[in-house]
Chains A and B, each alone.
Chain A
Amino acid sequence: MRSLFAFLRQIGAQVRSLLRALFQRGRIESDMDLELENHLESLIGDLIRAGHSRAEASRRARIALGSVLAHKEGMRASLGLRWWDELGADLRYGVRILRRSPSFTAIAAISLALAIGANTTIFSVAKRVLLDRLSVPHPEELRMLRWNGKELVHGIWGDFDSTQDGVTSSVFSYPLYLQLRAHNDTLQDLIAFKEDGMNATVHGNAQRIDAAMVSGNFYAALGVRPQLGRALQPSDDTTPGAGTVVLISDGLWEREFDRSPAVLGQTITLNQTAMTIVGVNPRGFTGVKNVQQAPDIVVPISMQPLIAPKREASLLNDPDLWWVNVIGRIRPGVKTSQAQAALDVQLQAAIHATMVVSPGDTMPRLELADGSRGLHSADRMLKKPVYVLLALTGFVVLLACANIANLLLARGAQRQKEMSVRLAMGAGRARILRQLFTESLLLAALGGAGGSLLGYFGSNAIPKLLTNGWERIDYGQPLDWGVFAFTAAVTVLTAVLFGLAPAWLAARSEVSSDLKETARTATRRRKGLGGKAIVALQIALSTLLVVGAGLFVRTLIGLNSVDVGFNADNLLLFEISPPARRYPHPKDVQLHQQLEQRIATVPGVEKIALGWIPYISESMGNADFVPEGETFDKTKRQAEFENAVGVHFFPTMRIPIVAGRDFGAEDTSTSPKVAIVNQALARKRFPNVNPIGKRFKADRESSNDWIQIVGICADTRYSNLHDDPPAQFFVPYTQQTKVGSMVYQVRTRMQPALLVPALRQVVQSVDRDLPMIDVRTQREQINATIQMQRALAALTTGFGVLALTLACVGVYGVMAYNVAQRTNEIGIRLALGAQPAQLRAMILRESTGVTLAGIVVGVTAALMLTRAVKSMLYGIQPNDPLTFASGILLLIGVALAASWIPARRAAGVQPMEALRHE
């Protein structure tokens, strides 16, 4: 105990002393001089007093004291200063060495920076997309309720996926939620939530916002506390329509209220209902739906009938429409499988209690999914591209490391002699290693600094590549410093390892052997082999990256040249979503008609068409299509894609009518119901029959009238670019019983930025609480659906170019070094009668050999790996011969170009000079 105390006391004293020595270096040095001088003076004085002459006394004193320089060095060592002094010297020398060969320094540092930067960027994004959890305490306890089943559930407002035996979904009816919550004893309190876009008026500014409707226990059960004001409480959602309170997000607080604490008590109008702001959610709060997107506001779910009406009656006691997501924390000690079994029993009971179950219906089965990342619906779309990018970045990092290794190995070989001289002059091996270590670290620091810059900008740029321009997504702090530290450590380790390996060998070698060895060694040495293997590896990796880039670029080109079937240029899109309470049918149709007429007169608007579904936007709508003579059969798929459109839809979109007539002014809400089908539908449902004049029923809502086909239009792509044009039919929206929101498609030659204010004025003059939602051009809309392909093409092309550059540097470096090492051999060959052209060919042949070996490996790997991305390609096969052939030619060309300069140098060698060369 005592000795520990003494030890700690001594460490403290040493640290203090070292710091003092470092910061008061000048005073320490002058103190040392003065002290030694005093000593000498006193000694001389004593010697004179003992009877010596001044000169003799001075001589004796100096002998007795010894070398003042050595003593001062000893004193510095005592203070721990020596290590620092040596480090300073190493650094100065290292900087001088790096500055003397700027191209080496630049290439090595840039390789490091690119590897660190690219890796940090991609891994930060990947971590965010694939691993990040909800920002609530203990997200790992959360379990999301899901079900899979068949016939029973007809009305779904939310996510669902078709599986081989039915559908799987994560939404339940509200009565089911209440039953499950009341009888659940394996999870803690169950939370209901529903996120949806809503029209809100904040400060008189109508806008579209993301709203989360949640049960009153939301905040308490999640353990989230607002940063200002109060949370929602169970009392807020007891009476439907009474809890007119709202919490806003940090982002909305900043955007609309300038972070003023006076926000509490102000109101937001949500679908004509005034809601009082009672709190502000913490910064970075994600909600529970997903990690990437946070709701702008949180309101009690009991407000649904007022703020988000879907059907005539309230959804809160509708057992047939399934729409709420349910999540809960698992109780400590309960296994997920136990909880799932218990809740499944509860679900069966609750369904029987709330719904009418026919004898043939299969009951849905309950499943508990991991809820720590919410519904993670983005995963499915992003997972594969992100994995592809991760793999490609891995290759880039490997490539950069190979490049650094290659450079450092060549350089180490070059400096072998310098090391031998140092050893011969008495430098310790450890000391030499330390010197080289310092140099490697210097290089790594340069690379690391560049890498962090690249990573910073890259991490900010990538989310922009992955999102469209008109939706706001808060990505938070995207640069992940943990990832940065990891990558930096790996690459720096590479630099240090390969910087030290040659030094280690040099330090172990006998001093004389390297000094004796001269360039007169005429035979080829095996030393170059390591370098060549690395270059072959670089070529192989480059082949892989170039081929990958080629495939994605060809996919993008293919998608961009798809003929969509309508004219997508000069089209402006936006949505108008009339709130159902204010615009019950038929007021919604009247509103749309009024807006359509007014907008058509705005200067600059050529034509306007309304529609339910915007084209190429990953959205779709369908209805059962039952022609006269067929009967409706629940088990057969009779549904076709449907769109309710304005009268001028076809001329506006420039879709030709190939037979029959277009919609016209004669088609009104009271005239006979009509439809136009496209050629694909005509072929599919009316083979060998003229469909014009035929009648069908569209099984939707209550409309049970016959609809007559009056025309056939040309085919168009529908929800995306890569699927062939599907069957579609079109009906006038004025003849529908329920319309709701519509997409306005405006053909104009004006800049959207100039036209939009005029349009907004028109909309506001009709209803000042109506926002124009998602304003974008049709081109932007199409580009958004191929965002992923564009991002992939851009990133893989970047990687490909990077790979080619690195491989080029690698080939050049190794061949140039090779030629320099073999100057003597080349001289002898020339002296013996070799022609310069022969020598040039010899060098080129060697580099081509290495290149071909690398390409063979690379192509083999590419053939195996590209199969994994088959589903992400369009219009080409993963082993597309054109892409492979051009990739191979490109690499051979680059390798030849890179070795051309060394080859010419070899051919230009003068025999006499070469033999004298040392």
Chain B
Amino acid sequence: MSHEKRDEQADLLQGTLDLLILKAVSLSPLHGYGVLLRIQQISGEELAIQQGSLYPALYRLEHQGVITSEWGESENNRRAKFYSLTPAGRDRLQMETDKWNRMAGIIGNILRATPEKA
């Protein structure tokens, strides 16, 4: 765990936390801390996530019915709440991913523009 690297980490873009959480729990059921670790691990420690904002986001997603939770046993034998994707969540993840990719493509194209082309 390398919290010292904070200065070099990228701040999360607004509104993307939900998408990242959906992606993280789509791979396998995770508890809250696990979601955090998974995102940091996949991003290669490049992303800084406000740890506290994770939980309101998880509750919001569960409230919307896109993830569901179940109490289980964690790796260090503690009772932990595991989140997993619902069918509605799978649809949402697909939709959000498509949207993100399209948006990224468009923004990328714009940023690649040169004076001659314009």
B61-102 at interface with A (beta carbon < 8 Å)? 62-66, 74, 76, 78-81, 88, 91-92
Q: How far is the CA of A75 from the CA of B58 in the complex (A)?
A: 8
Interface stretch of the complex, out of A7-15, A348-356, A910-918: A7-15
A149 to B92 Cα, complex, angstroms: 82
Which of chain A's residues 58-105 have a Cβ closer than 8 Å to chain B? 60, 64-67, 70-71, 74-75, 77-80
Hey, which chain B residues are within 8 Å of A36, CB to CB?
Answer: 55
Given contacts A6-B88, A38-B31, A45-B76, contact A31 B81 (CB under 8 A): yes
| B51 A39 Cβ-Cβ under 8 A | yes
- Residues from chain B with Cβ under 8 Å of A13 in the complex: 63-65, 88
Instruction: Flag if A79 contacts B52 (CB, 8 Å).
Output: no
Cβ of B29 within 8 Å of any chain A Cβ, yes or no, is no
Contacts of B76 in A (CB 8 A): 42, 45
- Given contacts A9-B65, A14-B63, A78-B59, whether A34 and B79 have CB atoms under 8 Å apart is yes
B89–chain A nearest beta-carbon distance, Å: 10
Indicate if A754 sits at the interface (CB-CB under 8 A): no
A41, B79: Cα distance in complex, Å: 12
* Shortest distance between the CB of B84 and any CB in chain A (Å): 15
Q: Which of A211-231 contact B (CB under 8 A)?
A: none
CB distance from B36 to the nearest CB of A (A): 8
B53 interface residue (CB < 8 Å to A): yes
Q: Which residues of A contact B79 (CB under 8 A)?
A: 34, 38
Contacting residues, chain A, for B66 (C-beta < 8 A)? 10
Partner of A66, one of B52, B64, B81, B92: B52
The reply to whether A12 and B32 contact each other, CB–CB distance below 8 Å, is no
Report Cα–Cα, A570/B79, bound state, in Å.
91
State which residues 2-29 of A face B: CB under 8 Å: 6, 9-10, 12-14, 16-18
| CA–CA, A67 and B52, complex, Å | 8
Q: Which residues of A contact B65 (CB under 8 A)?
A: 9-10, 12-14, 16-17
Q: Are B56 and A77 in contact (CB under 8 A)?
A: yes
Cβ–Cβ contact B55 & A35, under 8 A: yes
- Contact, CB under 8 Å: A71 / B81: no
Q: Are B55 and A64 in contact (CB under 8 A)?
A: no
B9 within 8 A of A: no
| A176 CB, min distance to chain B CBs, angstroms | 74
* A581 CB → nearest B CB, Å: 81
Chain A: residues with Cβ within 8 Å of the partner, total of: 36
Given A13-B64, A38-B78, A80-B63: A71 touches B33 (CB 8 Å cut-off): no
Query: A70–B51 Cα gap in the complex (Å)?
Result: 12
Query: What is the interface of chain B mostly: helix, strand, loop, or mixed?
Result: helix
Indicate if the CB atoms of A71 and B55 lie closer than 8 Å.
Answer: yes
Task: Report the separation of the CA atoms of residues A32 and B51 in the bound assembly, to the nearest whole angstrom.
Answer: 15
C-alpha gap A621/B10 in the complex (Å): 106
Q: Is the CB of A78 within 8 A of B78?
A: no
**Given the complex of chains A and B, what is the CA–CA distance between A10 and B76 in angstroms?**
35
B41 at the interface (CB under 8 A from A): no
The distance in angstroms between the C-alpha atoms of A50 and B2, with both chains bound, is 9
Interchain CB contact under 8 A, A65 and B81:
no
Chain B residue at minimal CB-CB distance from A17? B63
Whether the pair B51, A64 counts as a contact (CB closer than 8 A) is yes
The residues of B that contact A605 with a CB separation of less than 8 Å are none
Question: Which of the residues A10, A41, A65 comes within 8 Å of B78, measured between beta carbons?
Answer: A41
> Complex: how many Å from CA A708 to CA B96?
112
Selected from B1, B62, B88, the residue in CB contact (under 8 A) with A50 is B1
Chain B residue, CB-CB nearest to A49? B1
A38 engages B91 (CB within 8 Å) = no
- Least Cβ distance of A796 to chain B in Å? 59
A46 to B36, CA, bound (A): 13
Interface centre among B2, B50, B65, B74 (most CB of A within 10 A): B65
Q: A13-B88, A71-B55, A74-B56 are in contact. Are A43 and B63 (CB under 8 A)?
A: no
Question: How far is B33's CA from A45's CA once the two chains are assembled, in angstroms?
Answer: 12
A850 to B: closest C-beta gap in Å: 57
Instruction: Please state if A65 and B51 are interface contacts (CB–CB under 8 Å).
Output: yes
| Alpha-carbon separation in the docked complex, A12 to B88 (Å) | 12
B64 — which chain A residues lie within 8 A by C-beta? Answer: 10, 13-14
B3 at the interface (CB under 8 A from A): yes
Contact assessment for A74 and B88 in the assembled complex, using a CB-CB cutoff below 8 Å: no
CB closest residue in chain B, given A32: B55
- The interface residues of chain B lying within 8 Å CB-to-CB of A31 are 81
- Cα distance A64–B78 when bound, in Å? 21
| Smallest CB gap from A31: residue in B | B81
Q: How far is the CA of A50 from the CA of B4 in the complex (A)?
A: 12
B36 / chain A contacts, CB cutoff of 8 Å: 39
CA distance A39 to B79 in the complex (A): 11
Q: Which residues of A contact B60 (CB under 8 A)?
A: 78
B78 neighbours in A (Cβ, 8 Å): 38, 41
Asked if B50 contacts A66 (CB within 8 A), the reply is: yes
Q: A71, B56: Cβ atoms under 8 Å?
A: yes
Say whether A47 faces chain B, with CB atoms less than 8 Å apart. yes
Contact B1 A46 (CB under 8 A): yes
A802–B48 CA distance with the chains assembled, in angstroms: 70
Contacts of A32 in B (CB 8 A): 55
Given contact pairs A6-B91, A78-B56, A38 touches B80 in the complex (Cβ within 8 A): yes
Residues of A with C-beta under 8 A to B3: 60, 64
A interface footprint on B11-46 (CB within 8 Å = 1, 0 otherwise)? 000000000000000000001110010000000000
Which residues of chain A are near B50, meaning CB under 8 Å? 66
Residues of B within 8 A of A78 (CB): 56-57, 59-60, 63
Cβ–Cβ contact A74 & B53, under 8 A: yes
A79-B59 CB under 8 A given contacts A14-B64, A39-B51, A47-B1: yes
In the complex, residue of chain A having the shortest beta-carbon distance to the beta carbon of B80? A38
Tell me the smallest distance from the CB of B32 to a CB of chain A, in Å: 5
**Alpha-carbon gap, A11 to B53, bound state (A):** 23
Q: What residue in chain A is nearest B88 (Cβ atoms)?
A: A9
A43 to B52, CA, bound (A): 13
- Whether A38 and B56, one on each chain, are in contact in the complex, defined by CB atoms closer than 8 angstroms, is no
CB distance from B97 to the nearest CB of A (A): 15
State A16–B2 Cα separation when bound (angstroms). Answer: 40
> Are A17 and B56 within 8 A (Cβ)?
no
Give the contacting residue for A79; candidates B32, B33, B63, B74; CB below 8 A: B63
Digit string of B97-118 for contact with A (CB within 8 Å is 1, else 0)? Answer: 0000000000000000000000
Q: Does B55 lie within 8 Å of A75, measured CB to CB?
A: yes
From A14, A42, A65, A80, B52 is in contact (CB under 8 Å) with A65
CA A457 – CA B2 in complex, angstroms?
76
Specify which chain A residues have a CB less than 8 angstroms from the CB of B91 in the assembled complex.
6
Please, what's the 1-or-0 string for A698-741, where 1 marks a CB less than 8 Å from any CB in chain B? Answer: 00000000000000000000000000000000000000000000
Residues in B with CB closer than 8 Å to A34 are 79, 81
CA A16 to CA B78, docked complex, whole Å:
28
Q: How far is the CA of A43 from the CA of B65 in the complex (A)?
A: 28
Partner of A75, one of B56, B74, B88: B56
Q: Is the CB of B33 within 8 A of A43?
A: yes
Q: Give per-residue flags for A125-155: 1 if the beta carbon is below 8 A from chain B beta carbons, else 0.
A: 0000000000000000000000000000000
Contact between B32 and A10, CB atoms less than 8 A apart: no
Closest partner residue, chain A, to B64 (CB atom):
A10
Among A519-559, those with CB < 8 Å from B are none
Query: Nearest CB to that of B57 among chain A residues?
Result: A78
17 additional A-B pairs beyond A38-B33, A77-B56, A78-B59, beta carbons within 8 Å, are A6-B91, A10-B88, A13-B88, A32-B55, A35-B81, A38-B78, A38-B81, A39-B33, A39-B36, A42-B33, A45-B76, A65-B51, A66-B52, A71-B55, A74-B56, A75-B55, A78-B57
Residues of B within 8 A of A (CB): 1-3, 31-33, 36, 50-53, 55-57, 59-60, 62-66, 74, 76, 78-81, 88, 91-92
Give 6 closest A-B pairs by Cβ, nearest first: A13-B65, A74-B56, A78-B59, A66-B52, A78-B60, A42-B33
29 CB-based A-B contacts, threshold 8 Å: A6-B91, A9-B65, A10-B88, A13-B65, A13-B88, A14-B63, A14-B65, A16-B65, A17-B63, A35-B31, A35-B32, A35-B55, A35-B80, A38-B31, A38-B80, A39-B51, A42-B74, A43-B1, A43-B33, A43-B51, A66-B50, A67-B52, A70-B52, A71-B53, A71-B56, A74-B53, A74-B55, A77-B56, A78-B63
